[in-house]
Amino acid sequence: MSFVPIILLLMTQAATPPGEQPVAPYPHHNANAGATPFADARMWQAFHESAGVGRIVDDLVATNIADPRISDIFKGQDMVRLRRTLKEQFCYLLNGGCDYSGRAMAAAHADMGIQDADMAALVENLQAAMRREHVSFAAQNRLLAKLAPMRRTIVKQRDLDRRRPGG
């Protein structure tokens, strides 16, 4: 047995806290992005390509973390991974030539208790981030129309059933 695999095995075991199992792998597939991409690169260009999508996602995540309406949803989340997968998702959907490596929408949002009002706040924050990036209103609406069907998969509780503190 080689010395390198033993070191890797020991490093993997040391990285997993006692009593916890590593996260099971999940299939990476662009279908996990929740929608099909636009047919051509015009939307990618409308969002100012990679740099623009990066600014929008960074702005959106920062705004969501600071937004008292939804900030508790993001507590304890891996923000680096969130930013990376959102950038991949937007790039894929806008036909920017990226692949999406995140989980399927249902799995990614399971047990988060996301409600209608939470989704509305997130959409407001996304619209504000797109405006700050000077994405045209028509392009914003086209992306929002593509994202809208994901609501059925992500929203799991009605607003009348609020359970999070402060809600």
On the question of pLDDT at 20 being above 60, the answer is no
- Write down the pLDDT at residue 31: 61
On the question of pLDDT at 34 being above 60, the answer is yes
Burial class, 143, CB count within 10 angstroms (exposed 0-12 / middle 13-18 / buried 19+): buried
List domains and CATH numbers for the chain.
Answer: 24-151 (1.10.490.10)
Lowest-pLDDT choice from 41-50, 104-113, 155-164: 155-164
Structure tokens at 105: 């929408």
- Give the angle subtended at the CA of 35 by the CAs of 103 and 96, to the nearest 5°: 90
- Residue 60 near residue 129, CB atoms below 8 Å: yes
Between residues 154 and 15, which one has the greater pLDDT?
A: 154
DSSP character at residue 159: G
Q: What is the pLDDT of residues 98-151, one digit of tens each?
A: 888 877 666 667 667 788 898 899 999 999 999 999 999 999 999 999 988 878
